Amino acid sequence: MGGAAPAMRLYSGPLSMFGAKVEIAALEKGLDVEVVMVPFEMKRLYQPKHPEVLRINPKQQVPVLVHGRLELFDSTQIFEYLEELQPAPALWPTGLEAKARARLLEHQSDEVYFPPVVRLMGLQAQPQDPAAVAAREACALYDGQMEKLLADREGLTGSCSFADIAFYLARLFGERMGAPINGSTPLLLAWRDRVSLRPSVRQVAGAMGRYLLTQGRPLPAFLATLVAASQP
């Protein structure tokens, strides 16, 4: 970005899956973004709310992007703006149908895969609760669908796209909440390893892992490896 361009500021949180999606996309595109981590504490969460987040987002949630006079919230809306602002490298595939399928996969990561993970967050101390068992089964079913997609491609949509970024981060939270990828989906495991090698992912997911360690929280094995590889 040139010297005359307005600064770009992203309000996120140390454990914000949706903020991390935007951070990784911005790094992939080489955009100069100032990341502001809003106050967060494991028990109180995002209280007190950051005043800019309160002012801009009616849902009072991160991520929020400010670029000059433009103020945006919602990770997908922010990403679409970044994609048009900096088209290369593209994080959507080319072609009308391919792009539509990629957008649907990104949406499904948030709205189909992630809700069972959210249910697991409230049941970590009760892994055999029928609701927890059902949530893990839903995650495994989704994993199987992604395994089929990866039968003939490196990424969910071919090359790395925003759909891969979204599912990688949602899957990270699934792993943390007790829904690991198992041996029945080896292509998905290999896909996660490939995505983990991307410098943008090492930087953002690595920072998330380091924050969890400061809070005394355990890390999934793959995230612990990533943290070790991303140490400054």
**Nearest to 64, CA basis, from 88, 33, 94, 95:** 33
Tokens of 68: 């000059």
Stated pTM of the model: 0.94
Q: Residue 108 in contact with residue 102, Cβ under 8 Å?
A: no
- Taking the mean position of all CA atoms in its chain, how far away is CA 183? 23
The pLDDT of residue 46 is: 75
The residues with which 35 forms a beta bridge, in sequence order, are: 10
**Nearest to 109, CA basis, from 59, 165, 161:** 165
H-helix or E-strand spanning residue 75:
helix 75-85
Domain boundaries, the chain: 8-85, 96-190, 197-232
CATH 3.90.79.10 matches 96-190: no
The pLDDT of residue 1 is: 40
pLDDT tens for the 232 residues of the chain, in order: 445 566 899 999 999 999 999 999 999 999 999 999 988 777 777 778 899 999 999 999 999 999 999 999 999 999 999 999 999 999 999 999 999 999 999 999 999 999 999 999 988 888 899 999 999 999 999 999 999 999 999 999 988 999 999 999 999 999 999 999 988 999 999 999 999 999 999 999 999 999 999 999 999 999 999 999 877 6
The pLDDT of residue 2 is: 45
**Correct CATH for 8-85 of 3.40.350.10, 1.25.40.20, 1.10.510.10, 3.40.30.10:** 3.40.30.10
The pLDDT of residue 9 is: 96
Please tell me what DSSP assigns to residue 38: P
